[in-house]
């Protein structure tokens, strides 16, 4: 009986060639348009050892960038890797994460909120992402302007 399922995104030969070049499952997945777990399953089926030992950057590189005060995402951009890869290695090295500095104060947010601005508009004025503004607005117990407008409109 034929197996129903998804069409394979890549051929075994493609995986083998990239593996022989030293790429790890994540890198192979990116090159072939597949999830790294899928690559791992096929690699194991083919009897290939993992290339997880291949280091994309040295501990010294990470430490140097960390000492410059960069966040995991910024370090990842400079090293060409995902921020989670940086986070995991940083933790193994016993390095603490740098706390992000707030772009604005609660008072600044409240003042713009009281002017009736939406989160997106507040974010534009403060140089912050709309989601960041929304998070801090809710943390301060402030309703969204849109919700207040709807509430007030239904009362009249």
pTM for the whole structure: 0.41
Do 151 and 114 share a domain, yes or no? yes
86 lies in some domain: yes
138 lies in some domain: yes
Q: Is the pLDDT of residue 147 over 70?
A: no
Average pLDDT over residues 129-153: 82
pLDDT tens by residue, 86-122: 898 899 999 998 877 778 899 999 999 999 999 999 9
**What are the φ/ψ torsions at residue 85 (nearest 5 degrees)?**
-65, -45
The whole-angstrom separation of Cα 99 and Cα 88 is 16
143 lies in some domain: yes
Do 28 and 67 share a domain, yes or no? no
Domain count, the chain: 3
pLDDT tens by residue, 117-139: 999 999 999 988 899 999 999 99
By three-state DSSP, how is residue 129 classified?
coil
pLDDT of residue 119: 93
54 lies in some domain: no
116 lies in some domain: yes
Do 41 and 63 share a domain, yes or no? no
Do 110 and 150 share a domain, yes or no? yes
Average pLDDT over residues 46-62: 82
99 lies in some domain: no
97 lies in some domain: no
- 82: containing domain: 59-92
In the numeric block, the tokens 């507040």 are attached to 122
pLDDT of residue 156: 58
Query: Closest Cα partner for 71 from 49, 37, 97?
Result: 97
Do 34 and 74 share a domain, yes or no? no
pLDDT of residue 6: 66
| pLDDT interval class at 3 (50, 70, 90) | low
The whole-angstrom separation of Cα 16 and Cα 37 is 15
Q: Is the pLDDT of residue 144 over 80?
A: yes
Do 36 and 66 share a domain, yes or no? no
Do 111 and 147 share a domain, yes or no? yes
50 lies in some domain: no
Average pLDDT, whole number, for the chain? 85
pLDDT tens by residue, 60-89: 999 999 999 888 888 988 988 888 888 988
pLDDT of residue 21: 81
Do 87 and 110 share a domain, yes or no? no
The whole-angstrom separation of Cα 32 and Cα 65 is 30
Q: Which two tokens stand for residue 111?
A: 């003042």
């Amino acid at each position: 009986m034929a197996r129903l399922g998804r069409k394979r995104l890549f051929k075994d030969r493609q995986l083998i060639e990239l593996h022989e070049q030293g790429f790890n499952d994540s890198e192979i997945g990116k090159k072939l348009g597949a999830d790294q777990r899928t690559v791992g399953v096929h690699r194991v089926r083919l009897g290939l050892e993992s290339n997880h030992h291949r280091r994309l950057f040295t501990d010294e590189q990470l430490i140097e960038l960390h000492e410059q005060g960069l966040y995991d995402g910024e370090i990842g951009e400079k090293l060409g890797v995902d921020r989670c890869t940086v986070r995991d290695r940083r933790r193994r090295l016993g390095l603490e994460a740098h706390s992000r500095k707030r772009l604005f104060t609660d008072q600044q947010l409240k003042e713009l909120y009281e002017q009736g601005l939406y989160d997106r508009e507040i974010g534009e004025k403060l140089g912050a992402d709309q989601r960041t503004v929304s998070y801090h607005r809710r943390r301060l117990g402030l309703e969204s302007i849109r919700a207040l407008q709807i509430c007030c409109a239904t009362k009249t």
